[in-house]
Amino acid sequence: MTEYNPPLSDMSFLLNKVFNVSALWQGIPALSETVDIETAEAILEEAGKLASGMIAPLNRSGDEEGAQWNDGVVTTPAGFKEAYNTFAEGGWSGLCGDPAYGGMGMPKMLGVLFDEMMYAANSSFALYPALSSGACLALNAHGSDELKEKYLPALYEGRWAASMCLTEPHSGTDLGLIRTKAIPQGDGSYQITGTKIFITGGDQDLNENIIHLVLAKLPDAAPGARGISLFLVPKIIVEHGQLTDTNHVTCGSIEHKMGIKASATCVMNFDQSKGYLVGEVGKGLACMFTMMNYERLSIGIQGIGCGEMAYQGASEYAKDRLQSRGVGALKDLSKPADPIIVHGDVRRMLLTVRANNEASRAFALYIAKQLDITKFSDDKDAVTKASSLVALLTPVAKAFFTDLGLESTVLAQQVFGGHGYIREWGMEQLVRDVRIAQIYEGTNGIQALDLIGRKVALNQGKDFGLFVTEVREFTSEFALSAQKDNGRLANMISQLNESIDQLEQLTQVVLSRASDGNELNGNAVDYLNAFGYTAFAYMWCMMSLAAEKEQQANDNPYFENKLVVAEFFFARILPRSNSHAAAVKAGVSSIMALPNEMF
């Protein structure tokens, strides 16, 4: 099984050469006083050591042992508790947390790279602190000062953890159907009763307390989503900073899953448990979406991490495994056969995985940049634009990263041939572990509906227009730059222009049919994919311009390799967007024609 090597060189290239974070952070006073590039790279280096040295070695053993449930008690696999203690002692739970409550206050651009390393090393382990980070964000945004002071410091310390309790046995995406009840107690608290399912980290033995964020309805609540409120329900009651009595929060069972077996996915029962309102009555769904949107990006990054780990294993194997003769200059007659890396189809698979991984990493950083501007900048216009881009691009990131994450792990598994199906090599676990990411936090079909319905059609493409304008400004700047006569780069920019033209035309088609719900529903996934490949073309152009500039100055093979992978993307992957565009233009008549009873 391949050891995990954090891609620190690529992360440094993106931070320094593509996004120029030194200038970005210096231009935002709240960040200039907190972080510089030297600090950032030191943090990432230490995170890489943690991921590769302590978290990754537990990945296969954790999968083999799995989380266990016995008489209501959940235990994590051997080594998890010790690794988590090290994780917490290092302050990683509060990496991007509010310094007012003990967080480190680091920018999200570091957070997404840290998350990628954790997911690549061990997705099951990474999910436990990921839920805590999202809950902290929601509590900090919507909780009372009393709740924040009472719970955030211990959450940032990693002494306590958190979970997100939405889904019920009869209610998945349609949360308006939830039955969990919240009864006012007259002292500012509420009595919470109900059952939630699919709760990641709902119970475990890593933390001394677990803080549940629970959606529930008051007795006189309005019907549907308007009647939902959000409550903080601790596993153990906290009084004056001390843990006191049990709060009648129990785990009824854990799920037996396809993958992420070391992550406890729990059925949680709340039996007249004491809870505290977060935000306003009836505004629970809006408050919870602060956490949900955090988790959507986080789960998208799970796709990147698993894809990166799969690529490392497959490329190492392909350079070592001898089989058949290559053709042309790549063959080596000194050996009885050539390594399979010389064969065209193997190279196609590896380059597909690598090109999508590297574009995904760049796009995750691009979205994190918008999140940092939204959170830290005092430029109101910049904040308004960044907030709109975050809303537009979050569903793209969650769905596109995770779809490609599965594709990447399957392709990497295929490189191994029969050995990819054998557990000892680690590839089949990555396929199983990443599969849930397409389902988590709203299935990818739901993400696509969010994009095409709420983020594009509902505001007549206004936010989409911001993205198009930015891309066009980028390509226009290239036309005026010293690099404009570089044929290699000019070809990429030309294809980006064609792709953004096509996506803009496609959006007009979507808007013209928006009154037909079937058109939106049936075309959502294809529209999101066309959007994703266009966004990746933008990322690859930014990376290529930076790499070409560095290559001319340094003559470093890294930068030439980056350009070669970019050319592969434009030649072999970007054309996929054409088929998705054609599908949307074809309409949904063929989808809706078959009677229900014929399925």
Question: Residue 327 above 90 pLDDT?
Answer: no
Candidates 462, 540, 455, 444; CA nearest to 496 is: 540
Q: What is the pLDDT of residues 361-393, one digit of tens each?
A: 999 999 999 999 999 999 999 999 999 999 999
In this prediction the pTM is 0.96
**CA nearest 122: which of 162, 152, 87, 97?**
87
Top pLDDT among 96 and 331 is at 96
> Cα separation of 226 and 286, whole Å?
10
* pLDDT at site 159: 97
Mean pLDDT score, 106-124: 98
- Contact between 75 and 68 (Cβ < 8 Å): yes
Question: Scanning the structure block, which residue is given the tokens 């107690």?
Answer: 185
Please provide residue 68's backbone torsions phi and psi, each rounded to the nearest 5 degrees. -125, 145
Amino acid 114: pLDDT: 98
For residue 55, what are the contacts with CB-CB under 8 A and spacing of at least 6? 83, 87, 118, 121, 122, 125, 126
Confidence grade of residue 328 (pLDDT, cut at 50, 70, 90)? confident
DSSP states along 214-265? EEEE-TTPPSGGGGEEEEEEESEEEETTEEEEE-SEEEEEE---SS-TTS-E
Q: Average pLDDT of 215-240?
A: 94
65 is an active site residue: no
What residues contact residue 82 under an 8 Å CB cut-off, 6+ apart? none
Mean pLDDT for all residues in the chain: 96
pLDDT at res. 558: 96
Of 59-63, 226-230, 400-404, give the lowest mean pLDDT range. Answer: 226-230
Predicted local confidence at residue 494, as pLDDT: 98
Q: What's the average model confidence in pLDDT over 452-457? A: 97
pLDDT of residue 333 exceeding 80, the answer is no
Using CB atoms within 10 Å of the CB of residue 13, give its burial: 0 to 12 exposed, 13 to 18 middle, 19+ buried: buried
With cut-offs at 50, 70 and 90, classify the pLDDT of residue 127. very high
Helices (H), 555-597: 557-568, 576-586, 589-592
Q: What angle do CA 16, 21, 22 make, to 5 degrees?
A: 90
**In angstroms, rounded to a whole number, what is the distance separating the alpha carbons of residues 300 and 365?**
12
Residue 298 is predicted with a pLDDT of: 95
- When pLDDT is cut at 50, 70 and 90, the band that residue 525 belongs to is very high
Confidence of residue 175 (pLDDT cuts 50, 70, 90): confident
The arithmetic mean of pLDDT across residues 188-196, rounded, is 97
What is the widest separation between alpha-carbon atoms in the chain?
84
Which among 168, 308, 428, 441 is annotated as catalytic? 441
Residue 224, pLDDT score: 86
Is the pLDDT reported for residue 174 higher than 80?
no
* % of the chain at pLDDT higher than 90: 92
pLDDT at 171 over 80: no
pLDDT band of residue 230 (cuts 50, 70, 90) is: very high
Q: Which of the four pLDDT bands, split at 50, 70 and 90, describes residue 325?
A: confident
Domains of the chain are: 8-155 (1.10.540.10), 160-282 (2.40.110.20), 451-591 (no CATH)
What is the C-alpha to C-alpha distance for residues 571 and 59, in angstroms, rounded to an integer?
36
Q: What values do phi and psi take at 161, rounded to 5? A: -125, 180
Confidence band of 326 (pLDDT split at 50, 70, 90):
confident
465-485 pLDDT, tens digit per residue, is: 999 999 999 999 999 999 999
Q: Which three-class secondary structure state does DSSP give residue 300?
A: helix
Q: Is the pLDDT assigned to residue 399 strictly greater than 80?
A: yes
The pLDDT assigned to 509 comes to 97
Is the pLDDT confidence value at 4 over 90?
yes
Q: How far apart are CA 361 and CA 355, in angstroms?
A: 10
pLDDT band of residue 99 (cuts 50, 70, 90) is very high
Q: What is the mean pLDDT of residues 554-565?
A: 94
Q: pLDDT grade, residue 336 (50/70/90)?
A: confident
Q: Give the pLDDT score at 89.
A: 97
In the predicted model, is pLDDT for residue 332 greater than 80?
A: no
- Decide if pLDDT at 147 tops 90: yes
pLDDT at 483: 94
Q: What is the mean pLDDT of residues 33-61?
A: 97
Average pLDDT over residues 60-75: 97
**Closest CA relative to residue 127, chosen from 29, 135, 387:** 135
Mean pLDDT (whole number) for 97-123:
97
- The tokens describing 391, both together, are 């809303």
pLDDT band at 337 (very low <50, low <70, confident <90, very high): confident
Q: Report residue 170's pLDDT band, with 50, 70 and 90 as the boundaries.
A: confident
Q: Which residue has the tokens 């933008």?
A: 538
